[in-house]
Structure formats: structure tokens, C-alpha cells
Amino acid sequence: MHDLIPNIHQQLTGILGDINYFIPEIFLSLLFIVVLITDLLFGRNSERLCRIVACGGMMVIISKDVVQKLYMGDDVRFLFSGMLVQSHTGVVFKLIIDISALLLLLYFAWDEPLKSHQKKLSDLYSITIAAVFGLHLMAMAVNLLSVYLAIEMVSVASYLLVAYRSENAFSTEAGFKYVLFGAASSAVMLYGMSLLYGFTGSLSLFDPAFVTALIQVNTAGVVFAMVLVLVGMGFKLSFVPVHFWVPDVYEGAPTPITAFLSSVPKVAAFALLINFLTPFIINPQFKAVDFGLYLSVIGIVTMIAGNFAAVMQNNAKRMLAYSSIGHTGFALMAIVTFSAQGIKALAYYLAVYVIANIGALMLVTYFNRITGSDDVNSYKGLGFKYPAASICFVIILISLTGLPISAGFTGKLFVFSAVYSVYQSNHNVLLLLLTITGAVTTVVSLFYYLKIPLNLFLKRTESPAEPITQPTAILIAAIIISVVLILLGLFPDWLTRFL
């Protein structure tokens, strides 16, 4: 104890210095408390006020992210005794998370089944903000302890979000499945982390002794531990073979929650995967695990499984669930390059995917209020009755597919370019297979994404009905998203200059 006393002043000084790099997270903590207190003070009448506070606060946090990005530049700084890291890539991913979260906070009140819930939406805003705080920590975690705590913070918040409509049996079942699968994956990941700690005696991924100790350990033990840890991360990324929970949970959850699960946690999980892999990739002596081989195989299988399974779906939410699995596999292509160009391509791809995916699910909500169903066959003949929403739906789906002139096309082009650039230097056949699989599955995705435009514009319903007046909020948001996707496709440098 007496040996620690002289170091207290130095540690406190270090913590106070690190706080300057932790400003967005501090504001998130304060925002969570303010929204929670607002809910407690105003009770059932607090829903609108909580929404205003949450959205306003998130805009402030986005501004803090921008300031931090400009302040940090390309510097890398380890915070709080190496528990977290602040880097250019991490700040970019956090900015994507926060902009997406703001869009989702607005979206929650536009979903009628969720809005009509007896508990109202006040709790939903505070839970979402807590989840965003956990996502920030995921993007910054470089210590096995902080990795586990960040993932669990996001997981607990996600469980609550999925089962928020507790009066709905389908939603409750989805929440129960998510808790069971999530608990199992967390246990597996924690066991892998305990093995890594036992092998190395350290929890810090960037501690030089961490990788050095693993080099001296039996290869089979290291591979086993790494696979277990990747299972936990793969649960958030929903790549094969830990993707089986996705269709049922996404279909059973309220549509805005499906939009949250299928987009924002993926961004944080990819940032976490980058942090986890970096210490091993930069050390040429570490050869126990060929991450390029493992992730390439996972990416190929995930693209095939996600896209081909989506072809067989007629439920729009299940179709988008399987397509999100396919998109995860495609994004893994950028990770496998282990290059700065690949990471930049990944950031662009995830940014435009998240925007398009949220827009697609907004329009699923829009047409559900018209038809009372998420089945794409119920969209027959609606394209000419609701032309603005239908045209926006087509544009967003074009971007998700990756067709010109959309931002999705540019994102896929950047990823292909990054993979091919690395292939030219090392002629790794796995990169070639990834490229071929990505191209083939992009064509396959046409077969299910085009189901919606086909029903909207080319098929007729047998019982025509008068158009139903819809709230304009979702339509305005969909139009803005569609315009953004086209503009970013035509002028990608508007986004790439900030990545």
C-alpha cells in the first residue's frame, strides 16, 4: 500500500490529462442523466421533452466529435492507463455512430406501434443513449477488461430495446432469444479472454509483453483462445456461424430497434475488431493465428449465406436482416486488407450502408402503416399511389445493392479497390476469392432487393384502395436520405475528405 502512495499524484495527473480526450463520452454520460431526470420529473408527459433533450444533446456530442477529430489529427493517445485508445479511426467511427443514433432518436417517435406503447418512449431514449456510450467505449477499447465491459453495456441495453414492447408476444420472444444467445456468446468470449490473460499475465492488447508471451505459447492454445474471443465479437457483427439469432430477433423487434441493431452496433464492432487485430498484425513475429485466412473464409461464407438466404425471404424485415449479414461479410473484405486504404474504404462503406439501411427500415414502417404487413407481396400496386415514398425506396435499395450512381456503388468500389491493391502486391489467392465472391453476391442481392420495386410498380393489387394519408416525417427523412445517397455517389470526396 505504501508503495502506491507516491504514484497517486502521477496517476491523478494522467487521468486529468486524459479527460481532455474523453469529452464526447463525458457529455454522453451527462445527457443520459439529464434525460433520465427529465423522465422522472415529468412522468408520462415527458416523452416529447425527453426526445428534444436527447436529440439536442446528441447534436452537441456530434459537434464535440468533430472538434475532437480536428484536434486529434492523426495522433494516437492511450487513455486511463491503457484501458482505451483515442485515434483518428476511432473518432471517425464514433462520428458515424452518433449521426446514426441521432437519426434513430428521431425515428422512434415515427413508428406508431412503438409510440402507442403504454410505457411511452421516454425510457427508450435514455436506454439508447446508454447504448451509444457503450458503443463509444467499444470503438476505443484496447484492454480485455474494457472490451468485455463495453460489449456487455451495449448488450444489456440492446436486450431492453428488443423486448421494449413487452405486451407483444413476438417482441418478448425475440428479446428472450437475444438474451440467451447473447449470454452464451459473452460466456464464450469471456472464457477466451481468461485464457489469453492466463497465457500472457496481461490484459492490455498493446502491452509489448502481451503479444511476446503469446508467441511462446503452444499454437493450438492460442488459436482456441482467439476463436473464442472472435465468437463474442462476431455475435455483434453477426457473421457466420454466429448469425443464427439475427432473422428472428430483427423480425420480432420493433422496426426502429431493428434499424438500430442492424447498423450502429456493427460500426462499433468493426472498430473494436480493428483495435483487437492491430497488435498482432503489426508484430511480424506473431504467426500462431493467420487472421487473413480465418477472416477471409468467414467473409466468403458470410456473403454467400446472407445473400442466398435473403433471396428466399418475403418478409421485408427478415430480408433486410439476412442482407445485413451479407453486408457484414462484404465489409470484412476491407478488414482483411490490413491497410490504411482498406480502413478508409470500410469507414465510407459503413457510413453509407448505415444511412441506407435506416432509410430502408423507415420505409418498411411507412408501408406497414398502409398495408398492416411487412410482407413485400402486400406492396403490390402501391408505387403509383405513393410515388414519392416508392421512388425513395427504390433509390435506397439501389444503394444497398451497390449500383451506379449511388453511394453504395462508390462504397463497394472503394472496398474492391483496396482489396485489389493489396492483391497486386502479395497475390494472395484468398483476396481474389473474396473479390469474386463479393461481385457474385452483389448480383445475387439484385434478386431480393428488386422484389420491392417489382411489387410497387409492376404488379397490381386485386382490391384497389384509396390512398391513406401518412405523416410526412418519414417521407421527408426518406427523401433527404435518398438525396444524400445520390450526392455521395456523385461526389464521394465530400465524405472521404473527413475519413
The amino acid occupying position 132 is: V
In a domain, 240, yes or no: no
> Does some domain include residue 75?
no
CA 369, 370, 372, 376 dihedral sign is negative
Position 164 in a domain = no
Residue 327 lies in a domain: yes
Residue 344 domain flag? yes
- With respect to residue 450, please indicate whether it lies within any of the assigned structural domains: yes
| Cβ-contact 396, 478 below 8 angstroms | yes
Residue 63 belongs to some domain of the structure? no
For residue 126, what are the contacts with CB-CB under 8 A and spacing of at least 6? 32, 35, 36, 39, 50, 54
Per-residue HEC secondary structure of 169-195 comes to HHHHHHHHHHHHHHHHHHHHHHHHHHH
Cα separation of 363 and 317, whole Å?
Answer: 11
Domain that holds residue 397: 305-499
How many structural domains are present in the chain? 1
Helix runs in 282-339, H state only:
291-311, 316-336
> Under DSSP, is residue 482 helix (H, G, I), strand (E, B) or coil?
helix
Q: What does each of the 499 residues of the chain score in pLDDT, given as a tens digit?
A: 555 566 665 666 667 777 888 889 999 999 999 999 988 887 667 788 988 999 999 999 999 999 888 887 778 888 888 889 998 899 999 999 999 999 999 998 888 877 777 777 888 899 999 999 999 999 999 999 999 999 999 999 988 888 877 666 777 777 788 888 888 888 999 999 999 999 988 888 998 888 888 888 888 888 999 999 998 888 888 888 888 788 888 888 888 998 998 889 999 999 999 999 999 988 888 888 888 889 999 999 999 999 999 999 888 888 998 899 999 999 999 999 988 899 999 999 999 999 999 999 999 999 888 888 888 888 888 888 888 999 999 999 999 999 988 999 999 999 999 999 999 888 888 899 999 999 999 999 998 998 899 988 887 766 555 556 666 889 999 999 999 999 999 999 988 888 7
Q: What is the 3-state secondary structure (H, E, C) of 249-280?
A: HHHHCCHHHHHHHCCHHHHHHHHHHHHHHHHH
CA 213 to chain centre: 33
Q: Cis peptide before 405, with omega less than 30 degrees from 0? A: yes
Residue 467, C-beta contacts closer than 8 angstroms, at least 6 positions apart: 385, 386
User: Dihedral (C-alpha) 468, 472, 478, 484: value to the nearest 10 degrees?
Assistant: 150
Q: What angle do CA 134, 136, 138 make, to 5 degrees?
A: 70
Residue of 155, 487, 206 lying closest to 352 (CA atoms): 487
* 135 within a domain of the structure (yes/no): no
